[in-house]
Amino acid sequence: MLGPGLLADAVVPICYAVKGTALAADLWRYKSWRTPSASARAAVLALLLLTFLHDHGPCVWRHAGMAAPSRLAVVPTGCGRPGPHPLLELTSPYLRLPLTRLAMWPGRQGRHLDIQRFHAERTVARADVLLIDDSWVSGASAQSAAAALKLAGARRVAIVVLGRHLDPANPRAGELVARLRPGPYDPSKCAVHPPLDQGR
């Protein structure tokens, strides 16, 4: 049973990552890319995240009930991959927030919400945390990480996700996928406020 107040205070996806599209494939594979051309494609993912945070960070913080994040964390990979997370390596030089590390307890891999899956450094006590993730399928990993941060003393947690995974073959996602229109990233759009032309 999940204790009260352990879920993230805000979850904000930047884009939809529909299965079979280039974005979905890039988010699936970037952690293992090693060639220079692949590194350039990974850098595009980092640029997408950094641009969104620059343009829409303040409304994300507001939605989460914080003035601004004071610490940064990254959702660990589901396989417990050792070493720095590739997303952290790509973005941390630019975000300039102190890092709070999350690690998976041995044997806690899984696809369900588990508040004991990760443990967080105590550096997060009384902090407002920006928790970033590359993709969101069920949300179990990201919310498990948010719970670990709160159990370690975090005050607020805002999750920002590069791509909200959608599988057109899933009946629960099919209707939404059918309404989506392919197109480039639109920097004016944000999941926590209406489009600019509707807010006037």
- Whether 1 is in a domain gets the answer no
Question: What pLDDT is stored for residue 175 in this prediction?
Answer: 80
Q: How far is CA 63 from CA 18, 33, 135, 165, in A?
A: 26, 34, 20, 22
- Whether 128 is in a domain gets the answer yes
3 state DSSP class of 128: strand
- Whether 111 is in a domain gets the answer yes
CA dihedral 88, 89, 93, 96 (to 10 degrees): 20
- CA–CA separation, 128 vs 67, rounded Å? 8
Yes or no: say if 11 and 63 are a contact pair by the CB < 8 Å rule. Answer: no
Look up the CATH number of the domain holding residue 164. Answer: 3.40.50
- Whether 191 is in a domain gets the answer no
Question: What pLDDT is stored for residue 88 in this prediction?
Answer: 82
- Whether 200 is in a domain gets the answer no
- CA–CA separation, 72 vs 99, rounded Å? 5
Question: What pLDDT is stored for residue 34 in this prediction?
Answer: 57
- Whether 197 is in a domain gets the answer no
User: What values do phi and psi take at 24, rounded to 5?
Assistant: -60, -40
- Whether 199 is in a domain gets the answer no
CA 196 to chain centre: 23
3 state DSSP class of 69: coil
Higher per-residue confidence, 194 vs 143: 143
- CA–CA separation, 100 vs 181, rounded Å? 37
Domain count, the chain: 1
pLDDT, tens digit (0-9, with 9 covering 90-100), for 68-122:
999 999 998 766 556 677 788 878 888 889 999 998 888 777 778 888 899 999 9
Amino acid at 127: A
Residue 97 structural domain: 10-183
Mean residue pLDDT of the chain comes to 84
Q: How far is CA 40 from CA 35, 61, 148, 162, in A?
A: 9, 29, 33, 17
C-alpha torsion sign, points 24, 30, 35, 36: positive
Length of the chain: 200
Yes or no: say if 117 and 77 are a contact pair by the CB < 8 Å rule. Answer: no
